[in-house]
Amino acid sequence: MPIYAYRCSACGHEKDVLQKISAEPLTLCPACNTENFSKQITAAGFQLKGSGWYASDFKGGAGSSSSASNTVSSSESSAPASPCGGSCACH
- Name the nearest CA neighbour of 45 among 87, 86, 5: 5
Tell me, yes or no, whether 75 lies in a domain: no
For the chain, the domain total comes to 1
- How far apart CA 32 and CA 72 sit, in angstroms, is 55
Structure-model confidence comparison of residues 1 and 47, the more confident one:
1
Tell me, yes or no, whether 20 lies in a domain: yes
Q: Please check the confidence at residue 16 and state whether its pLDDT lies above 80.
A: yes
Give me the DSSP letters along 59-87.
TT-SS-HHHHHHHHHHHHHTSPP-TTTT-
39-62 confidence digits (pLDDT tens): 998 887 666 677 766 666 665 545
Residue ranges making up the domain that contains 31 = 3-39
67-85 confidence digits (pLDDT tens): 444 445 444 445 455 566 6
Spatial contact of 6 and 14, defined as CB atoms under 8 Å apart: yes
pTM of the predicted model as reported, rounded to 2 decimal places: 0.49
Tell me, yes or no, whether 19 lies in a domain: yes
Determine what percent of the chain is predicted with pLDDT higher than 90: 40
